[in-house]
Homo-oligomer: A and B are copies of this chain.
Amino acid sequence: MQTDLQISRQSATLRVKVEETLRQAIASGRFKPGQRLVERELCEMLGVGRTSVREAMRQLEAEGIITSYPHKGPVVSTITYEEAQQLYTVRALLEGFAGQQFAEHGTAADITTLQAAVVEFEAAAESGVGARLIDAKNAFYNCLMDGSKNVFVRQMLTALHNRINLLRMTTMTQPGRLAHSIAEIKDIANAIQNRNGPLAAAACKFHIDQAAKVALEYLRKNAAPES
């Protein structure tokens, strides 16, 4: 019975739309880390009541992308150097795990999808269009997370990605990084296709460790946060 006749049903509740809008606004840099988010301003900006804004805030707070202080209100979360380190460390752990599970338990269809994502990623890189590259990267990671066949791993990695976004740092735009990135991603896909779990895990970990190296180096240079 379930055919593809779904009505768009413009997102379930207003609150969810507010969440999505704000998440996007933060991820895109419209709101910067450390910036205060004043309730009244958000209400006017979004054209919704305080209820919706406040409830959305609680959600974003739980996700860690905003931090709110009692009686002072929410602020876009900032990430210290140490936290960034920790973030990349646990991301490497979880993505390594996801890669391993994918290699060992992923379906043939999963692998086909992954290969397609790799091809698109290469094409996007060659096209030089930033947005397309970002989409391709996200598609790849999404596929990888699904391949883990573990809802919780997916949730946690999604949360980590959101928080890493706060760094507003695309390691891929660093000179020479993109080429390496492509090669690393190919290694991951190959290891998975060969059903080599440990190698897939190592490849994933290596990929993230490299990205971390670039990102942390960048953070160290572009001096610290005065807050």
Contact = CB atoms under 8 A, between A and B. Distances in A.
Interface string A85-115: 0110110011001000000000000000000
A93 B86 contact: no
A171 to B, nearest CB: 19
B90 A153 contact: yes
Say whether chain A's binding surface is mostly helix, strand, loop, or mixed.
Answer: helix
Nearest to A61: B59
A71 B14 CA distance: 12
Nearest to A15: B58
A69 to B, nearest CB: 9
A83 interface: yes
- Chain A, interface size category, equals 20 to 34
A64 B86 CA distance: 23
Given A55-B58, A62-B63, A97 B87 contact: no
Nearest to A96: B93
A151 B86 contact: yes
A151 B70 contact: no
Interface in A129-180: 149-153, 155-156, 160
A137 B51 CA distance: 39
Given A12-B70, A59-B61, A90-B150, 6 more contacts: A55-B58, A86-B149, A86-B151, A93-B93, A93-B97, A152-B160
